Structure 1
Amino acid sequence: MRRYFYGVKVQVLVNANGIQVEFGFVPGCESDVQALKKLPLAVAAESKIYGDSAYTDYQVKDDMKDAELIELMIQRKSNSKRPDEPWVRFIKEQRRKGIETSFSEIKALFLRKIHAVTFKGFLLKLAMFILAFTLNKFTNN
């Protein structure tokens, strides 16, 4: 199977029901923490955002908690400076499994080959797949 990488990563924010609420495209060379800073994060105050260890940045976590009352619930690495309690680690792992399931469901909608003539056309098709997933998930809940 051929695989191509077009230099784009998709950052997706889903709610507890697995419905996508925000997404954005960022350059593939950009770290996940930098990409998180670019999302609008138009969520309610006192929301919790779950992510994997690639989003570990203690300064960003503290700033978001102080400024917007948004709590970043990021899975920590084993050598973390701020280790989680076992029960918190369990909750984070369970939430991450739901997020990964959402990503798998979005990818299942993709065609085997996405044909696009331009880069903007490629991004438009990706956005339409995410929108189709959201509408499908919204109508089924």
Structure 2
Amino acid sequence: MDRLTPEQRSALMARIRGKDTGPELRVRRIAHAAGYRFRLHGQLARRAAAAASRRAPDVRLAGGRLPGKPDLVFPSRRKVVFVNGCFWHGHDCPVGRRAPASNAEFWAAKRAGNAARDARHEASLGRLGWQSLTLWECQLKDADAVLGRLDEFLGPSP
């Protein structure tokens, strides 16, 4: 196995996006084709953000966005969907369990911190009266299964 130089690894890591990722776009396409309409990246309308702030004043809505910046927001249903990468968020699948060999302590702390932050965001959403669903990257291979989970979580599409 070829080792990457620090410059090569840095270039690879810089290409990793935080939003509009392939898995997220796949879930968007499935949801939209089924008739669901949504907002992106935790964005709320001004009126909805004000109502959420009144409901739970201890939860901060930075820039009118829900905690954790959910990937898909369904305001009329008060539900959100997170699309998480198995590696980055420590899912219990082969990809999520695989730990990097180099700089292992850093990556263990990084992934544990991501999981803890995800739990905090879900708790904050719950205090605001929102429900959340997490779809993992490894679960997106079967579009029918994804649609089934969305239908179960969101209810019938319009």
Q: Same fold (TM over 0.5)?
A: no
The answer to which structure, 1 or 2, has the higher relative contact order (CA under 8 A, 6+ apart) is: 2
Larger-Rg structure: 2
Q: TM-score under structure 2 normalisation? A: 0.27
| Larger strand fraction of residues | 1
